[in-house]
Amino acid sequence: MQLAWLNGEWTPLEAARISPLDRGFLFGDGVYEVIPVYRRRLFAFGPHLERLKHSLGATGIANPHTDEEWRRLCETLIERHPWDDQFIYLQVTRGVQPKRDHLPDDCLVPTVFAYTSELKPVDEAILKKGIRCITAEDIRWQRCDIKAITLLPNVMLKMQARAAGADDAILIRNGLVSEGTASNVMIVEGDRLSTPPLDHALLGGITRQILLQVAREAGLEVREEAITEKRLAQADEIWLTSSTKEALPVVVLNGEPVGTGIPGPIWQRLRQAFHAAREQWMEQNHE
């Protein structure tokens, strides 16, 4: 049975209930985090926790737990579920407020919700074939560095991609690539790997951070720099990166082939190097 942790109590996931007066429900006033687990161990827990604290700090939501309590909660979730590979979802909202008001009361108690699911590897058939993307205007807010639960634009953009017969959308703001609807974007030009620099326009992806390091160690030239829509269209390879999907090769952009139209050689190489680095990291960090 899938269990949820809700405000200090364990309940079956389907039985978990929150008040409709929760500010997360009424205002989307909350943040979340997704942490992958491999062979029953947390992967890159430190960076994920730092990002959660960044999201809480930036929104002024009180952090309800110490680092050690967060870790314990995640480890208990792993222990209480059967899967070797999991992804843990943590959500903190500003809490329940009796009177609906944009301005939060001072003494709210944050709502903490956590559960875990089985993490299945991306289908081999999808990895072999690659995915299709469109570009779309980035209609989101200006603080995409915060992992906010307010995901309506991301939902609409993903629906827009599907309506266009594509799998996902790569978002463009002022002519520059920001990220995917739930991923970061990387491009390969020759043996150079580029990705947009961290700022308020995009989420600081943990997979992004690790892949850039792996790419540097593999001898690739790595650049964190602005990428124009034109450069994106001319790239040899495009990848979407995230914790649950790792790196997905994009083979069609706006109906045109990316590079040779099949998942590229640098992606193949980096994917293997990423897996090797992850194994090594987990051995060394015992996370």
Ligand X SMILES: Cc1ncc(COP(=O)(O)O)c(C=O)c1O
Residue ranges that bind ligand X, judged by CB under 6 A: 34, 179, 182-184, 203, 205-208, 241-243
Contact between residue 35 and residue 90 where contact means Cβ atoms under 8 Å apart: yes
Instruction: Report residue 140 as tokens.
Output: 């989101």
206 or 215: whose CB is closer to ligand X? Answer: 206
Question: Each residue of 72-108: b (16+ CB within 10 Å) or e?
Answer: ebbbebbeebeeeebbbbbbbbbbbbeeeeeeeeeeb
34 or 193: whose CB is closer to ligand X? Answer: 34
156 or 262: whose CB is closer to ligand X? Answer: 156
What angle is formed at CA 199 by the lines to CA 279 and CA 114, rounded to 5 degrees?
55
138 or 237: whose CB is closer to ligand X? Answer: 138
Closest separation between CB of residue 103 and ligand X, Å?
Answer: 27
What angle is formed at CA 150 by the lines to CA 144 and CA 156, rounded to 5 degrees?
90
Closest separation between CB of residue 52 and ligand X, Å?
Answer: 11
Instruction: Report residue 114 as tokens.
Output: 């956590």
Strand ranges (E), 19-141: 30-38, 41-42, 86-93, 111-118, 131-137
108 or 146: whose CB is closer to ligand X? Answer: 146
Catalytic residue among 53, 99, 128, 147: 147
Closest separation between CB of residue 151 and ligand X, Å?
Answer: 8
Closest separation between CB of residue 244 and ligand X, Å?
Answer: 7
Which pairing describes strands 168-173 and 176-180: parallel, antiparallel, or unpaired? antiparallel
**What's the one-letter identity of residue 216?**
R
Q: Is 147 a catalytic residue?
A: yes
What's the CA gap between 202 and 198, in Å, rounded? 7
What's the CA gap between 69 and 80, in Å, rounded? 16
Write out the catalytic residue numbers.
Answer: 147
